[in-house]
Amino acid sequence: MNRLAERQEATGRVCVVADRWPRFSSTFVAQELVGLEKEGLTLWLATFGRPDKVNHAIIDELKAPIHRLPNTPWKSLRYWKALAKVRRWPGYARAKAMLEADLAYAKKPKKLRKYFGRAVVLAAEFPADTKVVYAHFLNLTTTIARYAAAIAGLPLTASGHARDIWTASEAELRAKLAQLEWCATCTAPGAERLEELADQPGKIHLVYHGLSFDRFPVDPPVRSQRDGSDPNDPVLLLSVGRAVEKKGFDVLLEALASLPADLSWRWHHVGSGALLDALKARAAELGLGNRIEWHGAEGQASVIERYRTCDLFVLPSREAEDGDRDGLPNVLMEAQSQGLACLSTTFSAIPELIVNGETGVLVPPGDADALAIALTHLIRAPQERIRLGEAGYNRVRGAFEAETGIRHIAGLLRQSMA
């Protein structure tokens, strides 16, 4: 029986391709995959790269087997066995032609060839009942999935998010979109960019990833009346996010340093990241060391408890120099799900979630002075924080339920499997 006949007779399976599984900063991906399994889809997860050490409980709920691809394919016996298996398939020649076309604009051709090697292994090791390939992020993940799907003659689908949309070249995105049956994305700006580059209309689907609220306490806590006037009971500020440029924590430090001297506050930061040491050094230079607590990466249960005990959530997102940016940060939705007032920026898709002055406060990205003014006001105004927190709670739970988007993705995958 040939490979196509095997797939037609077998029960359908979705091969999901994801980078670094588990990945601490991509809980929305885990949430979606667990939800797709609950929708009745059978998943098989192919991944590569070094997994994160800190785990979220939701990742343990995934039933799909985890299939790890070799880091350096040509040093692996799996690659040579896979190459011997697939090099005579009609799709292998098509994939090689795609690789040669991609090399014409590739900034790092050696890495691209390595991704092709991983794709060879993946194509050879797909379960026989695989009906569709689904890649998360339009970066190297879709690159590998694209070649593998071409080799195996499988339909390709994907979800794009933030950095992968805004830092890739138009040539790369056009090539990938041309092969995709459909592409989902979680922000209106991202959808607009992809629609401009897509080879045909109707291929891009705006799907908010939202939250599965059954994973979060439903009852928001009673909020404190702290107003920054008591040094023994300071207002607790919270930020959750990797220490990377696009999160804007350097801007937040500048804003905190300019707050009135008589204002009592403490900032709690949760997250790891390449810039963490630099942020700590800058905080010390600004004389803020004794007013900041750096917690590093934490599990979701600990983060939820911080949402419930702190007074104001702050995420000053902005565009990084290399074009990297947030899409719609999950942590803002998580904070609002616990009735915690949020202060963020008018950047990317954040205004799609937060209505300025109604369900939170937004300031221009990268503007430390505007951020300091908003912080000063909100630290001194507990009733305003409570009002914003309640409004944010109602909006996020009414309009950003994850199950709606998961059902949409499940429907698209079933169409592709058919």
Residue 88: how many CB atoms within 10 A of its CB? 8
Q: One fold for both 3-210+401-417 and 216-399?
A: yes
Ordered by start, the domain boundaries in the chain are: 3-210+401-417, 216-399
- pLDDT, residue 59, reads 85
Pick the CATH number of 216-399 from 3.40.50.2300, 3.40.50.970, 3.40.50.2000, 1.10.10.10: 3.40.50.2000
Q: What's the pTM? A: 0.81
- pLDDT, residue 54, reads 62
CA distance 325 to 242: 12
- pLDDT, residue 11, reads 64
CA distance 93 to 99: 10
CA distance 137 to 141: 6
Indicate the length of the chain as a whole number.
Answer: 418
Per-residue pLDDT of the chain (418 residues; tens, 9 = 90+): 343 443 343 368 999 999 988 887 678 899 999 999 999 999 999 999 888 776 677 888 999 999 999 999 999 999 999 999 999 999 999 999 999 999 988 889 999 999 999 999 999 999 999 999 999 999 999 999 999 999 999 999 999 998 899 989 999 999 999 999 999 999 899 999 999 999 999 999 999 988 989 889 999 999 999 999 999 999 999 999 999 999 999 999 999 999 999 999 999 999 999 999 999 999 999 999 899 999 999 988 999 999 999 999 999 999 999 988 888 899 999 999 999 999 999 998 899 999 999 999 999 999 999 999 999 999 999 999 999 999 999 999 999 999 999 999 999 999 999 8
Positive or negative, the Cα torsion across 21, 22, 26, 28? positive
- pLDDT, residue 1, reads 36
CA-CA distances (angstroms) from residue 19 to 26, 59, 190, 275, 391? 10, 14, 20, 21, 36
Question: Residue 116: CB partners within 8 Å, gap ≥ 6?
Answer: 95, 99, 147
**Is it true that domain 3-210+401-417 has CATH number 3.40.50.10860?**
no
CA distance 252 to 368: 7
Tokens of 184: 């989902």
Number of H helices, E strands in the chain: 17, 13
- pLDDT, residue 9, reads 37
